[in-house]
Structure 1
Amino acid sequence: MARRLRLFKEQMTKAGVSPSMWSTRDDHFDLEHLEVKLEELEAELLEINANNEKLQHTYNELLEYKLVLEKVGELFSSAKNKAVAHQKELEFQTTVEGSIDSPLLLEQEETTTKQIKLGFIGGLVHREKSIPFERIIFRAARGNLFLKQGVIEHPVLDPLSGEMVHKNVFVVFYSGERVKSKILKICDAFGANRYAFSNDSSKQFQTIREVSGRISELKATIDAALIHRSTLLQTIGYHHGQWRLLVCLILDLVFSKYNC
């Protein structure tokens, strides 16, 4: 019981809820009932905290996703054109097929013309890691890709750490599954969050609207959960003084030197 009361005190302190100083002893209070009550309150509080953590993580991811959709949309067209130009330059430098050194994104269609098909990955990377991130990707793919980065002006809330950090948005154009696999592994190693997006502007706009709607719904759910948590902590705070006194009296009987 003492452990649970300490947990409640910590949670109230974090939430800015002050425990009541009322500590009048209730001679009719059932100790066994108190233990059951504290156990139920602890389970409910931990469940609220766990659910809120999951909701907040999803909310932060959606905020990043929306930011990526907006920022990548701004640089996608120009980056794609440069990637195609980069591919054409590589065509004159190597003719080895099926190798990571082969030209970027060149596929022979069963037509009279050749078409360049672009594979792409986009996301966010910590700004302080952006330069080594870019260098290692180029080194791993031996330059057989095109990477474009853009600066996010304001700090963003990282979904994993929950901290505000400066990040860059990036989009990488690549050819082949081997190169893609290398890029994904490097993204994971640098903690770069990847998000799916479309090269179709109309689909991109629709996705932004859908993500914005989900963000609004999640925000309302999180706010409701926080209100419920605050109400629960206020209830606990009102009785905390009495519960603490009862527990201390019990412990005094068992450990005469227990210091409350």
Structure 2
Amino acid sequence: MAETGAYIYAACRRIEPGALDGITGLRDAPLRILHQRDLAAVVSTVDLDEFGEEALRHHFEDLDWLEQVARRHDEVIRAVWLASGLVAPFRLATICRTDDNVRERLETRYDELTRALDRVEGRSEWSVKAFLPAEPVNAAADTDDDEAASTGTAYLLRRRRELDQRQQAAVDADAIAEAIHHEVAVAAQACRRLPPQDRRLTGYADPMILNGSYLVDDRDAGSFRAVIDQLVAQRPAVRLMVDGPWPPYSFTTLEST
């Protein structure tokens, strides 16, 4: 018989029996709720031939496998969040040998989990991304004199001007991103700036200048959206994308679980 373990998706507090009916975990395994004091962990059984330490080292290099597991991991966490209103996600592939080990982990991390849940109670995460079209490099100044433009000196001058323009554009983009982030952060209870995503991930030709996560009180969601709408009106050259509400991944996920 294959050896199994308990895969932990998230911790929460109050969750009604049957609240996760119809939701399955990895490989369609049924979900279980394990309690320790006033905390609960949502887990499912996994085969350690696939999710054991050695197997995971191999699977983490398989992007298709990783995407499938991450998607189901996220689906369960969202279901727990909707059912309980409060969730602390565990990082991907957090696995214990037994259910008792899961309870021991809840006890060991009790204070940290409690603080994390207190921090996000009644709040959700929103994502704000900003894209700014790149300004074309102006080389018109080098086309006035064809003979001069063909010389090495003119070529170096042209390259220097192009570099200066690009550097200035980068400075301007950083300033715009910082201004937008500041305006949005004022309307949130907490915020995190993440590295801008590559064009290959965003699907947009324009570069991303801001990738921010914001923790927003659910009662203030309308005001938060109003701030975004105001920024859209004030900065028509910038493409702003807002998404949410989400489970508060950026503000509760335990890095060491």
TM range, smaller chain: under 0.3
Q: Which has the higher strand share?
A: 2
For the pair shown, the structure with the greater C-alpha radius of gyration is 1
TM-score, with length taken from structure 2:
0.22
RCO greater where, 1 or 2, for CA within 8 Å and sep 6 or more? 1
Q: Which has the higher helix share?
A: 1
